Amino acid sequence: MKILLLGKNGQVGWELQRALSVLGEVIALDRHPVSTAYGTLVGDLSDLVGLREAIHSVAPNVIVNAAAYTAVDKAETERELAHIVNAMASQVMAEEAKRLDAILVHYSTDYVFDGTGTNAWKESDAVSPVNYYGATKLEGEQLIVAAGCKHLIFRTSWVYAARGNNFAKTMLRLAKDRTTLNVIADQIGVPTGADLLADTAVAALQQALINPELCGIYHLAPAGETSWHAYATYVIDFAQSKGELLAVKTINPVATTEYPTPASRPLNSRLATEKLRDSFSLHLPDWQSGVTRMLMEALNT
């Protein structure tokens, strides 16, 4: 089996390089052209012609798109590029997947919802993007569905990865120097590890390859919920319990309204995952287990 992976160096893309490798040959691209056995391949999602040619050249059985324009605030002003990368490139991948009878695996976001209420969003709930990034991600989903290809679209939220920077590491760094931290307490969601996103996609993909009726849109996040404030508190308590010397004494809960950003953020990022768990007989761990594992690596304990 041939798998074409786009966005190989992103948080999720990096974990997918590992997780997909047991399924077949993975041709993994970032935004720079690369010379391969299939010719020189373009993985830049803003080059729609080059992207289509790359898919033609590889003729994969599975296309996995981990690339996206993810600069949520910048997307408000860099609209054209965000739209091409998140919407138009998804359409190209979907059209090519349809032509090849391949499955397209794609990631989306809870930002397709308006973020109101306290219920966990279901796949069947009405969409109403909270910002321009969310609108481009929603259009990408819709273009994939309209193209009629086999697809697995995973909507997720609050993604972190062990590799590189993340919210937890930022909190630890700040807590070393500052006695007081102000952290948003009225946004509720679920921290989701890039490793879980990759491993779950592979588990679902294995089943969808055998049973294409499983294709569709799924919500994917660990069990439980938290606020950024409670998440920060969890991280700092854990680090202190492992002997980290931190200056921080107070973690103040603050409201989203105190931190205006160019793009609005949803207050309710909860995602209902029953459909995914039932369809694929999967268990999703609580969010603390992934965060703890990442912290153990970050703290080198």
Within 13 Å, how many C-alpha atoms sit on residue 74's CB side?
6
Nearer to ligand NDP, 248 or 276 (CB): 276
Choice from 12, 181, 188, 215 touching ligand NDP (CB under 6 A): 12
Choice from 5, 28, 43, 61 touching ligand NDP (CB under 6 A): 43
Closest contact distance (angstroms) between CB of 59 and ligand NDP is 20
Is 231 a binder of ligand NDP (CB under 6 A)? no
Q: Which of 107, 133, 160, 218 is catalytic?
A: 133
- Which string of DSSP letters, residue by residue, matches 146-200? HHT-EEEEEEE-SEE-SSS--HHHHHHHHHHH-SEEEEE-S-EE--EEHHHHHHH
Nearer to ligand NDP, 89 or 248 (CB): 89
Is 91 a binder of ligand NDP (CB under 6 A)? no
Q: Identify residues 47-86 at the interface with ligand NDP (CB under 6 A).
A: 66-70, 85
With contact defined as beta carbons under 8 Å apart, do 257 and 187 qualify?
no
Stretch that binds ligand NDP, among 8-16, 180-188, 242-250, 284-292 (CB under 6 A): 8-16
| Exposure string for 96-135, b = 16+ CB within 10 A, e = fewer | bbbebebbbbbbbbbbbbbbeeeebbebeeebebbbbbbb
Give the other-Cβ count within 10 Å of 32's Cβ: 10
Stretch that binds ligand NDP, among 40-48, 123-131, 172-180, 234-242 (CB under 6 A): 40-48
Residue carrying the six token digits 């990631």: 107
**11: which 2 tokens?**
């948080």
Is 266 a binder of ligand NDP (CB under 6 A)? no
Q: Identify residues 176-215 at the interface with ligand NDP (CB under 6 A).
A: 194
Choice from 5, 7, 138, 270 touching ligand NDP (CB under 6 A): 7
Site map 124..143 versus ligand NDP, x via CB under 6 A: -------------x------
Is 87 a binder of ligand NDP (CB under 6 A)? no
Nearer to ligand NDP, 31 or 178 (CB): 31
Is beta strand 25-29 parallel, antiparallel or unpaired with respect to 34-36?
A: unpaired
**Active site annotation includes 111:** no
> Minimal CB distance to ligand NDP: which residue?
10
What is the rounded CA–CA span in Å between residue 7 and residue 244? 35
What SS3 class is residue 214?
helix
**217: which 2 tokens?**
């849109």
What letter would DSSP give residue 86? Answer: I
Residue carrying the six token digits 């459909």: 275
Choice from 4, 28, 45, 175 touching ligand NDP (CB under 6 A): 45
Amino acid at 140: G
Choice from 2, 9, 74, 253 touching ligand NDP (CB under 6 A): 9
Footprint of ligand NDP on this chain (CB under 6 A)? 7, 9-13, 30-31, 43-46, 66-70, 85, 107, 109, 137, 156-159, 194
Catalytic positions are 133
